């Protein structure tokens, strides 16, 4: 069993215990999928509705690429970030198999590849979702640039059509801690927090925020999210 499989198994066991612990006095609970295909307890009414993940601008730094790869770092250094993103269909609440999830984001100094004379292709890539709608990316915690809160851009393609364009956000507290570390501190603290970012507001003020967990040792962070799209 590899590192990623072992991590997923630990999270599944933990989530299952949480679910079983909540089956006492609350009323009818049903199982529903969450990030990593985990099981979570919800009321029957809540489980019957899948709310679309908010759409926001793709921004000026998207470029077409055919880079299918799990590890998108391409030699960029920073605090490791492992992303587990699940894609579900809003009409069925079921995982979408074979969805093409595309990511791109700035490096630790706030610079994008492929633009402004930069011919490299770091921190960009695609992954196809598995039978549970899951994609896994290995990257680094993104840096910031003027006027924007830290974020990662995402597109979801189904059958060759873009069905979702969004951005993934972070806790201000975690970002501040990351930017105090040795590899980031020369760039300083972000000049814009979530509350002051209009695109964060368009994304539902937290509905597109990654759930972050600190990984042991120097392995950085795990970020999880379920994206509900109209396929």
Domains of the chain: 1-49 (no CATH), 50-229 (2.60.130.10)
Give the DSSP H/E element, type plus range, for residue 16. helix 3-21
Phi-psi group of 27: left, alpha or beta (phi > 0 → left; psi -120 to 50 → alpha; rest → beta): left
* pLDDT tens string 67-88: 999 999 999 999 999 999 999 9
In sequence order, what E strands does 34-120 have?
39-43, 80-89, 100-104
Q: Whose CA is closest to 177, among 145, 210, 220, 134?
A: 220
- CB count, 10 Å around CB of 192? 17
Pairing assessment for the beta strands 211-214 and 161-169 based on DSSP bridges: unpaired
CA gap 108, 67 in Å, rounded = 21
pLDDT of 218 reads 82
Secondary structure letter of residue 181 according to DSSP: S
**Helices in 48-166 by DSSP H: which ranges?**
none
| Structure confidence at residue 47 as a pLDDT band (50, 70, 90) | very low
| Structure confidence at residue 13 as a pLDDT band (50, 70, 90) | very low
3 state SS of 205: coil
**Cβ within 8 Å of residue 55, ≥6 positions away:** 164, 165, 166
* pLDDT tens string 17-30: 333 333 343 333 33
Percent of the chain scoring above 70 in pLDDT = 79
pLDDT of 24 reads 40
Q: Token digits for 41?
A: 């307890």
């Amino acid at each position: 069993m590899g590192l990623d499989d072992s991590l997923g198994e630990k999270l599944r066991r933990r989530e299952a215990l949480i679910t079983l612990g909540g089956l006492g006095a609350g009323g009818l609970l049903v199982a529903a999928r969450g990030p990593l295909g985990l099981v979570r307890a919800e009321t029957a009414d809540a489980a019957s509705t899948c709310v679309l993940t908010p759409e926001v601008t793709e921004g000026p730094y998207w470029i077409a690429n055919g880079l299918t790869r799990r590890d998108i770092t391409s030699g960029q250094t920073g605090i490791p970030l492992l992303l587990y993103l699940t894609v579900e269909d809003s009409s069925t609440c079921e995982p979408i198999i074979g969805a093409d999830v595309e990511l791109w984001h700035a490096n630790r100094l706030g610079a994008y590849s492929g633009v402004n004379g930069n011919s490299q292709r770091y921190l960009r890539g695609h992954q196809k979702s598995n039978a549970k709608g899951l994609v896994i990316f290995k990257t680094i915690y993104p840096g910031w640039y003027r006027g924007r809160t830290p974020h990662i851009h995402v597109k979801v393609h189904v059958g060759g059509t873009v069905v979702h364009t969004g951005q993934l956000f972070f806790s201000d507290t975690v970002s501040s801690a990351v930017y105090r570390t040795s590899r980031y501190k020369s760039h300083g603290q972000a000049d814009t927090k979530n509350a002051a970012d209009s695109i964060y507001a368009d994304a539902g003020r937290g509905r597109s925020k990654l759930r972050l967990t600190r990984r042991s040792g120097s392995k950085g962070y795990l970020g999880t999210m379920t994206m509900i799209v109209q396929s």
